[in-house]
Structure 1
Amino acid sequence: MSVRARRVKLLAILGILVGSGLALLAWSRTWYSATLVDGATSGSTTTLDVAGQSASPALSALALAGLALAGALTIAGPVIRVVLGLLAAVLGGCIVLAASLAIADPVAAVSSAVADATGVAGTGSTAELVAGVVASAWPAVAVAGGVVVVLAGLAVLVTARAWPTSRRYGGGVRVAAAAAAAPSSDRAVDAWDDLSRGDDPTEATEPAEATEPATADDEPDHAPDGPADGDERAGTTR
């Protein structure tokens, strides 16, 4: 179960990374080739290449947020994973929406680039200058990336609680709880056992002298005086 949970975690995070990366890559490519009417440009060129930066400006911010979210998932605790999974699903939906709006209305998507090239402002005015628009495959790639992020976010929501808990959020808490539950006397005994195993080198050379058995020569000098005192008191009484 642990191996399967690790695999699901890896696939979910990888899905967010791949989907966000595809969206960011698509944003940097050419989405449309717009053909302008004669005299719309200052030169002889009548074809204008429009990149995703102009067709869908918000896509880069969404893709970068997805990459950051995937990084946060690698260190998040169980509760935060659920929140991040929900955010990933919403983020993927926003990527799909941003790319789909550009696909649904190509003329409006290229209007910003046409305005920069011709100096004509206004969506209606720039639309009159566009004779035709040819789309590339990159808008569809951006949509596919958003779908992958949505699916990965839903996978995080469903499986987040089954993911293996990192030492930061699992083992450390259990060790701290066990230490807090142990009586203070047990902790003192454990500390003394550590010293007895040689962790403190200053104590290693002294136990031999402390545990040396006493010999007959070491008996106190006053021990034999007991009977003599008793005999003297007995003689006095008699």
Structure 2
Amino acid sequence: MRTENRRIKYLTLLALLVGSGLGLLSATQTWFTIQVTDVANHAGTVTVAGSAAAPALTALSLAGLALTAALAIAGPAFRVVLALLGILLGASIVYSALAVLGDPLQAASAAITSATGVAGEASLRKLVQSTTTEFWPWFAVLGGVLVAVAGALAIVFLRAWPGPSRKYQSRFAGEDGRSAEETLAGLDAEEPETADDAEPGDEREAREAAESDAQEEPTTLDRDSAIDSWDELSRGDDPTR
């Protein structure tokens, strides 16, 4: 059961990591190739990268990678907040990519203006001859779906996830996730009966008397020896001989 729970946790984190990675990779690739006619009636090609078409995609993907690390060590309560954030991030990535796919010209307007010097939506549409959409926007959509699904799985299997590593727990916390106070209280409640409590009254008194005699006898001998040594010194004798 513990192995299965760990497998669920690792698969969820892997889905979140892969989804964020796909979004980040897609942002660096070409999304659209646009054929335009410049003012001299010469056809030209304008390429639009994902970072230019969907500027928020890079930041959202980086947030997903950071979320993966935080979710791996989070406790149950904080894990719910992070999982909801993951669902929101995934939905935002999907929305960013689909919005660009819905109107490529609007997303590429800045790149076309930079290449031709022509501004204005109406003017730009007259310049565009054809638009080719690459497959990278769909990779971004897939990445956003994986991030959102990973967030949902983290909530569904909230209780099945194993707790964080003991490295991130209190030094005196129990292995089952209990606090230090609860652990110490449990140890006090389970403390076994001591040997003194287990012994009958007569045997305990006899043992204590024997220990008392053993402690007093050396003390008496040491006191007598010291008196004798002092008397010898008083007579001028060397007690060390």
TM-score w.r.t. structure 2 length?
Answer: 0.72
- Report if the CA contact (8 A) 2:37-2:43 is conserved: no
1:67 to 59, 65, 68: 65
Kindly provide the CA deviation profile for residues 141-165 of structure 1, in whole angstroms up to 9, marking residues without a partner as x. Answer: 1111111111111101111222111
Q: Secondary structure at the match of 2:158?
A: helix
Deviation at 1:214, TM superposition (A): 2.4
Q: How far apart, in 2, do the equivalents of 1:128 and 1:15 lie?
A: 43
Identity %: 44
- Report if the CA contact (8 A) 1:35-1:47 is conserved: yes
Q: Is there any run of 5+ residues in structure 2 with no aligned partner, and where?
A: 195-212, 225-241
Q: Secondary structure at the match of 2:132?
A: strand
Aligned to 1:4: 4
1:179 to 156, 180, 184: 184
- The 1:132/1:45 distance shift into structure 2, 3 A limit, reads closer
Deviation at 1:211, TM superposition (A): 5.8
Aligned to 1:100: 98
Aligned to 2:228: none
Q: How does 1:22-171 map to 2 (within 5 A)?
A: 22-39=22-39, 46-166=44-164, 167=166, 168=169, 171=174
Kindly provide the CA deviation profile for residues 104-130 of structure 1, in whole angstroms up to 9, marking residues without a partner as x. Answer: 111112111101112222333322221
Runs of 4 or more, structure 1, over 6 Å off, are none
Deviation at 1:53, TM superposition (A): 1.4
Q: How far apart, in 2, do the equivalents of 1:40 and 1:3 lie?
A: 68
Q: Secondary structure at the match of 2:35?
A: strand
Aligned to 1:193: none
Aligned length: 195
2:217 to 214, 218, 232: 214
Q: 1:143 is aligned with what amino acid?
A: V
- The 1:61/1:219 distance shift into structure 2, 3 A limit, reads closer
Aligned to 1:20: 20
Q: 1:2 is aligned with what amino acid?
A: R
Deviation at 1:131, TM superposition (A): 1.2
Kindly provide the CA deviation profile for residues 163-214 of structure 1, in whole angstroms up to 9, marking residues without a partner as x. Answer: 111221763644432325777xx8xx9xxxxxxxxxxxxxxxxxxxx96672
Kindly provide the CA deviation profile for residues 62-104 of structure 1, in whole angstroms up to 9, marking residues without a partner as x. Answer: 1111111111101111011111111111110110010001111
- The 1:93/1:213 distance shift into structure 2, 3 A limit, reads same
TM-score w.r.t. structure 1 length?
Answer: 0.73
Q: 1:214 is aligned with what amino acid?
A: E
Q: Secondary structure at the match of 2:159?
A: helix
Q: How far apart, in 1, do the equivalents of 2:81 and 2:179 lie?
A: 24
